[in-house]
Amino acid sequence: MTEPIRLSKLMSERGICSRREADAFIEKGLVFVDGQRIAELGTRVDPNCSITLAQDAQKQQGQRVTILLHKPVGYVSGQPEPGFIPAVTLINSDNFWPGSGGPPFHPGMLKGLAPAGRLDIDSTGLLVLTQDGRIAKQLIGENSDVEKEYLVRVEGRLSDEGLRLLNHGLELEGKKLRPAKVTWQNDDQLKFILKEGKKRQIRRMCDLVGLHVVGLKRVRIGQVTLGKLPMGQWRYLKADEGF
């Protein structure tokens, strides 16, 4: 016999929404399990049950925005310490990339907008900010399998053994890193493709093999590329795009 599971946890695991969103929908009576409305927080259900959202909940999800920003150096992706500027301050009408499509910007779009992944203060490139818990879970959830691609300019000598270790064989904080794909892009630039994102991971990996990073740019997350998005500007994730 299968053990009942908390409904909000099951909704998160299935990618329907985040746990927080699930609790909000349940409280409002917008979730149906096997055709029955569930409105009590903490309800446990059969893991194999059918879950549907009311039209109001689906409409709310459809109105949530996901934004792609070309982050410059000097901005932090997450909650800043005093004296640091968060990247979300660049999301305004002045920095919208003209001609990229989507609705006009309004300040309400900033409510609940949070970065789905980190990009450190010294790095540039693609940063995703979203109001959608499904996308956040896809990109930064514990079991996320989405690739992130970086171009990394380095100084120093890298041996064949060093390159092998970068691809698979390094540890950070006593834990083995997941396999990466690291290749030379040109004489002084490496291409990294990772499926994880520990704090300053690429810089620390390079330190371990005797390289110094002088420039780092994220150019792709999953199927979405930075493309021609100018530095400091942003655009919406389009309806036909997915990570």
> Which two structure tokens, joined as six digits, stand for 231?
């530095």
Among residues 100, 114, 107, 106, the alpha carbon closest in space to that of 235 is found at: 100
How many helices and strands in the chain, by DSSP H and E?
A: 6, 18
> Which two structure tokens, joined as six digits, stand for 57?
């909940």
**Does residue 46 have an active-site annotation?**
no
Which one is catalytic: 46, 94, 120, 122? 120
Cα distance between residue 52 and residue 31, in whole Å: 6
What's the chain's length in residues?
243
- Contact criterion met (CB below 8 Å) for 132 and 66: yes
Find how far residue 56's CA is from the centre of its chain. Answer: 26
Active site residues per annotation: 120
